[in-house]
Structure 1
């Protein structure tokens, strides 16, 4: 469809028509445009007349207002005990048990978890740590998140949250424990499209902030929505605006605002910046680092290798449903990560 659109635009241009093409997709801009004008926050910034000399980095810097190396906003943080511990997790999509930890003292631990994964997986994540999960399509990243968020049940393995056993039978259990997910497909799984921004922010906190268990405190709902809109810098006319009419970046920030209304220990982000313009990406990276600095363990799944390397303290690589390797930020390279991500028959 994109190729057909590009062909139509090219034909119209060749016929002498003037085409104004609005897009935040860099590859489309460089493919089709003869000149580019940048607007930021409703204001004119600059026009580039010669596309042959314009680089991707120059355009991004102009759009965001800072050098591209600073977009990921990485800030070293002190990490605490283990937050989440995963031991031998196994389930749909994983081929081997997966184990890991996420730091901050450690918050989350996963031991030999199985279920959608082809192998048991084990790892840990500490409080204040940003753990990146990288892999190609079909690697098992989303399947792992479905286990950690209670959407799927593990067939083997165990979870520990802040040193205590964690049983997840449903997403409700994960939310109650403070393990919160921003899903990959936000339009289908993350938002209520016809609901207002306020409703989407408050939906998960209603039970905790209601009177007699059913009547929502209207004052709290309005105040919380306004606070999160301001804190997340959600661009919307007001809290009553239908979230469907917001950009992808602002929808994502509203989802993050929803979880800030809840007690949070571990935040699971599945492709957090997919389909989002570069300016909104920069803002979301800042939010992620601020959450980690507050002691929350953050696990980020992304197919964008530069993004994973740019924001993570540590990176785990999945391949064909199994954990294939781990790289610390300071040692991670594109080549090393891609070698780990490729099926063994294809890797050099």
Structure 2
């Protein structure tokens, strides 16, 4: 049954959306249990909770992607039942997903207006009108992207802006944003917030899922917290503190977000001299010692991830030298890097990390099957399974068992599986590219403790992060990059956000 948009008075003028008593189960998992939620007109309502708390599941139910086992819904005061994403769109509900869903070989304009293209008198797509509609939309949102460029040619940040524009184009009253700033620079985040404030002024209701506390207090009017599939509570954003929200999210105190310890710094394990990838980065030189955490900071496009990929042989450098324990190594492939004790957690878990059709065990064991678990040509499957189960428990991966397909996990739990994969290799050099992106505050603290523990055991860690508190809190030294070049190094004692930004913007 579909509700019909009403253009006149509504039974309840205060709430756009009301959800009561929603329950949703998946095989072996209760994702939501008697959950309620209400969204006011002209407001931003933040949803907070650890990975697997049920936030995205509830939003996918509201967006018509999942069907609830039970529960009731009201939209603009009217009872509603949504059976598909099309139902939701036709009733004014649009969702911007954390994992982008655009079609790379179609233009920006074609992606935005798909199935709604303007037609000419002969029934064909009117490309001129299509461009004009897109330009008008972009002008409203102050987005500067060519409507006729293929989406595949855009940066991740610009693709995110296209997703946002597409959602707005439906003139939806309810917009759901799932981690919309995960790939945006500070300037782009502020642009997004300007768009949100304008939509809010038009009376739209925005549901904003985020793990970033600073965003919550800057943009949200209300905040609701979920934990383990249960609704915990709702508060006005200006009436709670960061610690209040963390306690609600995790059900316990997190006393130290960045548990950095002073550990003995040993000899140089990795030495990089004049590493260059033509057209991408130039003359990169640095050393990393045993027990040291070297933070890599810089704005989006600075080349940090490209350097990491070159070190691991994903995209080999065109010149320069990589030495491990004083011996020059020609790292042409990831296999060579792994043989010399390297491990690399990529920043994009969906495209370059997870094998979504495989289960957790298969994903986690992938990097070690050719190593110590092979005896006389046969894999010791029981031993591998025991080690993977131990890693699952250590990282608190929320899943009924290791046979669950990884695509059924939340994004943060997928990230934990990938971290577990590389920790099983017992690396001597660990490269982490955005290790806590999309991970809740409780899991972040656990991963930070794990990184500190690895450093104390003599592992040399390179950590790339766009979150300044993480870089400052976890690093012994910080290397800053700008447009493919190193602009400076900062010791832990002298580093500050201002100094990093000065070097990153040179």
Contact 1:30–1:51 (8 Å) recurs in 2: no
Instruction: State the match for 1:267 in structure 2.
Output: 430
**Deviations along 1:69-101, whole A, 9 cap, x unmatched?**
x212222211111111111111145xxxxxxxx
2:337 is aligned, of 140, 157, 174, to 174
Instruction: State the match for 1:66 in structure 2.
Output: 253
Provide the rounded CA distance (Å) in 2 between the counterparts of 1:320 and 1:20: 35
Instruction: State the match for 2:374 in structure 1.
Output: 210
1:54 is aligned, of 229, 234, 240, to 240
Instruction: State the match for 1:187 in structure 2.
Output: 350
Larger radius of gyration: 2
**Deviations along 1:185-239, whole A, 9 cap, x unmatched?**
01111111111110011111111223443x4222122222212112222221101
Provide the rounded CA distance (Å) in 1 between the counterparts of 2:487 and 2:218: 36
Provide the rounded CA distance (Å) in 2 between the counterparts of 1:150 and 1:319: 22
Deviation (angstroms), 1:152: 1.8
Contact 1:92–1:143 (8 Å) recurs in 2: no
Higher relative contact order (CA 8 A, sep 6+): 1
Deviation (angstroms), 1:289: 1.1
TM-score (norm 2): 0.57
1:63-212 equivalences under 5 Å are 63-64=249-250, 65-66=252-253, 70-93=256-279, 116-117=280-281, 119-208=282-371, 209-212=373-376
Instruction: State the match for 2:493 in structure 1.
Output: 330
> How many residue pairs align between the two structures?
316
Name the SS of the counterpart of 1:49 in structure 2: strand
TM-score (norm 1): 0.81
1:224-263 equivalences under 5 Å are 224-263=387-426
Contact 1:249–1:281 (8 Å) recurs in 2: no
Q: Which runs of 5+ in 2 are unaligned?
A: 1-162, 177-199
Distance 1:49 1:253, change over 3 A: closer
2:472 is aligned, of 306, 309, 320, to 309
Name the SS of the counterpart of 1:335 in structure 2: helix
Name the SS of the counterpart of 1:120 in structure 2: strand
Name the SS of the counterpart of 1:154 in structure 2: coil
Name the SS of the counterpart of 1:259 in structure 2: helix
Contact 2:216–2:237 (8 Å) recurs in 1: no
Q: What RMSD, in angstroms, separates the aligned Cα atoms of the two structures?
A: 3.1
**Deviations along 1:245-301, whole A, 9 cap, x unmatched?**
112222222112112221411000011111222222222111111111111111001
Contact 2:175–2:206 (8 Å) recurs in 1: no
Deviation (angstroms), 1:66: 3.4
